[in-house]
Amino acid sequence: MNAIATRPLVLDPDGAADPCARCGVRASSVCDAIPTSDLARLSAAAVTGHAAPGSSFIDEGEPATAFFNITGGTAKLYKLLPDGRRQIVGFVGVGHFLGLAVSDTYAFTAEAMEPVKYCRFSRASLRRLLDDFPAMEKKLLAVASNELVAAQEQMLLLGRKTARERVASFLMAQARLGVACMAPRSHFTLPMTRGDIADYLGLTIETISRTLTKLRTEGLIEIPGATDIVVKNRLAMERIADASE
């Protein structure tokens, strides 16, 4: 595993270690299940760290000894095929909880696409928290269920959808990323490269570029910058993504 840098707990002016109480992403993560009065327990269990762009903080096949809660940035998850090819299986951002493995080793590699911040929990420390705070365990079960649904959707994406439907599905998923309400964002940034998108969707870079250009020509999206997407016609994009156009 790549070397990872950690930073000490930030102290409040009165000297109390209280980073979790001041965490801006707590409400969107499993940590929200811990009552405010018990956040010192959560702080004591977490080790904060960061990963630079291009570096991994989880490595496929390594012992799954810890769990990671993403508190900043975006990472890609991928598996290596026996012939050395890479298959991206997902993109994760703030609030995602990683490491819920059914085996003793990690099933994927997590690589930062931009500066990533995270809280790391050992298996033992997380188990103690779950024993004392059943609501957190309930949230983790919901996370596991969501991961299963995402895996099923990815199977449909790769197995049945056309290139146009795959790209539309991907864009609408990115529009909803980190949005609590049902309405997706109309303007968002893609932190991943066209190559990453191609690996994730099982397409070529050329097909990704042609499809994006076609969607833009039809007035469904705008691409004001290399990494910016503006959805101009959300209903039409959702119909394409749902293969109902």
Q: Are residues 139 and 184 in the same domain?
A: no
Q: For residues 245 and 239, is the Cβ–Cβ distance under 8 A?
A: yes
Cα separation, 216 vs 175, whole angstroms: 16
Q: Are residues 150 and 165 in the same domain?
A: no
Q: Given 126, 156, 186, which residue is the final one in a domain?
A: 156
* pLDDT recorded at residue 222: 96
Q: Are residues 184 and 75 in the same domain?
A: no
* pLDDT recorded at residue 173: 87
Spell out the per-residue pLDDT of the chain, length 245, in tens: 444 433 333 333 333 456 787 787 887 788 888 888 888 888 888 899 999 999 999 999 999 999 999 999 999 999 988 888 888 988 988 888 898 776 789 999 999 999 999 999 998 998 898 888 888 888 888 777 777 677 777 777 777 889 999 999 999 988 887 554 456 678 999 989 999 999 999 899 999 999 999 999 999 999 998 889 999 999 999 999 987 66
**Torsion 46-47-48-51 (CA) sign:** negative
Domain extent, residue 40, equals: 5-156
Q: Are residues 150 and 176 in the same domain?
A: no
Q: Read off the amino acid at residue 158.
A: L
Q: Are residues 57 and 143 in the same domain?
A: yes
Q: Given 156, 182, 215, which residue is the final one in a domain?
A: 156
* pLDDT recorded at residue 13: 39
Cα separation, 170 vs 222, whole angstroms: 15
Q: Given 156, 190, 206, which residue is the final one in a domain?
A: 156
Q: Are residues 23 and 133 in the same domain?
A: yes
What CATH number does the domain containing 169 carry? 1.10.10.10
Q: Are residues 118 and 221 in the same domain?
A: no
* pLDDT recorded at residue 143: 77
* pLDDT recorded at residue 3: 40
Q: Read off the amino acid at residue 175.
A: A
What CATH number does the domain containing 104 carry? 2.60.120.10
Cα separation, 135 vs 129, whole angstroms: 10
Kindly state the tokens that stand for 22. 């001041």
* pLDDT recorded at residue 110: 96
* pLDDT recorded at residue 68: 93
pTM of the model as a whole: 0.78
Residue reference for tokens 């503006």:
230
Q: Are residues 115 and 190 in the same domain?
A: no
Total structural domains in the chain?
2
Q: Are residues 179 and 102 in the same domain?
A: no
Q: Are residues 34 and 21 in the same domain?
A: yes
* pLDDT recorded at residue 178: 57
* pLDDT recorded at residue 158: 74
Q: Are residues 143 and 188 in the same domain?
A: no
Q: Where are any strands of DSSP class E within 52-182?
A: 56-58, 66-72, 75-80, 86-92, 97-98, 109-112, 116-122
- Virtual torsion, Cα 189, 190, 193, 196, nearest 10 deg: 180
* pLDDT recorded at residue 5: 39
Cα separation, 197 vs 203, whole angstroms: 8
